[in-house]
Amino acid sequence: MGIEQPSRPSSAAAAPQRPQSPGTSLVGVARQWLLGRVSALWALLTGRPVSLYAASVLRIGYGLLYLVFLLREFPHRGEIWGPESPWTPALAAQLFEQTGWNSVLVLSDSPAYFEFCYAMAVVTSVLFILGWRTRVMSVLFAVVVISFHARSIFMTDGGDNLVLLMAMYLVLTACGRRWSLDARRDRLKSARAGDVPEPVRGLYAQELRHARVTLTTVVHNCGVFVIAAQVCFLYGSAGLYKVQGSTWGGGTALHYALNLELFQPWPALSHLVDDFPMVIAITGYVTVLVQVAFPFVLFGRLKYPVLAVLLGMHIGIAVLMGLPLFSGAMIIADAVFLPDRFYAFLPRLWRRAARRTGMRQAAPGRATGSGSVPAQGRPELPAPQDQAVPSGG
């Protein structure tokens, strides 16, 4: 028998088992990633107000759209919302008990009171467009839209519903920080102040001001995110609803829509478009595809051609089906997805085109370019003119 060699311990057995570091484990990596996402989301919400230009575009767009709507219906105001309406204030009050709606128009049956409310609605829309005391005007504009919507709710459509939602959402946003009288007043105030140092504030006053600025910034950002989510929900649900219909799958849905007498402002134009069945079928398929895919393309450059297709689709709906209020409301809502750098570039583009065509001469001593665009502020220390403040925002 041979000599038995002593067994050597393996290297794995000889080396002591070291506990795996939490930072390198799967749970640790997931925890670090989650904390990083939460920190990034918190910085996004509290760092600075986002989409200030887009919020201003929504303010101007919906204010102008509702002003045009009120002026267009001015000859028929009494039959729709006033004392001459078949839907009397008593019937409206009975419906309010069931739905929870309310309206300032039913507080009195007096024709003078109704005319006063209508005039104030027009004035409120104009001031809201101009951005004068925007915080107050945004609340009054929402009251106007809610009151007129609830007074004759059976006369409304999808466009009215969207304007109602956006009017309430805009109350939360700092929609007067750009392209408004409030912004102009703040710029003039800053220019007059010059290099005068700010007064020394106490610690309590500084903390209170910082908390107020942070709160209003968070409210504004949440309002913008809610508007974006609302638009995504509208497009996504509309696309999924179309997928369930056999007419959209067969490419004949637009053919039937073009032949409805209720939606034929220009019958000859509708019949002309209906003579191209292949174009109608392709347009129907593209409409469904774009609406379903819209929520998934918002974080890339693909959203720009998708927004262009949606713009063409809404223009077609306004012209061919006679729904300008609905199309205008959707086009304005789509503006929330365009970045601020796009809106900041528009004035420079306009000035450049004006100089090339000779419409406007550059003012001497004034620098051209982005000098007139207010600074966006830094996340760690936002500029005072960029923060969403309670007054005039």
Query: Two tokens at 148?
Result: 């007129």
- List, for residues 234-269, the tens digit of each pLDDT value: 999 999 999 888 888 888 899 998 998 888 899 999
Between the two ends of the chain, the Cα-to-Cα distance in Å is 98
Residue 71, SS3? helix
The residue type of 114 is: F
- List, for residues 275-315, the tens digit of each pLDDT value: 999 999 999 999 999 999 998 988 888 899 999 999 999 99
The dihedral built from the CA positions of residue 329, 330, 331 and 336, taken in this order, carries a sign that is positive
Give the integer Cα–Cα distance in Å for 180 and 161.
26
pLDDT value at residue 48: 84
Residue 87 buriedness (CB in 10 A; 0-12 / 13-18 / 19+): middle
Residue 270 in contact with residue 264, Cβ under 8 Å? yes
pLDDT value at residue 18: 52
Nearest Cα residue to 366 out of 346, 379, 344, 348: 348
Give the integer Cα–Cα distance in Å for 286 and 276.
16
pLDDT value at residue 374: 45
pLDDT value at residue 195: 63
pLDDT value at residue 208: 85
pLDDT, the chain, mean? 83
Mean local confidence (pLDDT), 363-372: 43
Question: Which pTM value belongs to this model?
Answer: 0.79
Residues 6+ apart with CB under 8 A from 112: none
Residue 55 in contact with residue 170, Cβ under 8 Å? yes
- Per-residue DSSP letter, 296: G
Give the integer Cα–Cα distance in Å for 292 and 90.
43
Give the integer Cα–Cα distance in Å for 119 and 147.
14
pLDDT value at residue 387: 44
3-state helix, strand, coil in the chain (%, to 5): 70, 0, 30
Residue 269 in contact with residue 298, Cβ under 8 Å? no
Residues 6+ apart with CB under 8 A from 52: 174, 177, 178, 340, 376, 386
pLDDT value at residue 207: 82
Question: Range with the lowest mean pLDDT among 103-107, 120-124, 144-148, 165-169?
Answer: 103-107
The dihedral built from the CA positions of residue 191, 197, 201 and 207, taken in this order, carries a sign that is positive
- Per-residue DSSP letter, 297: S
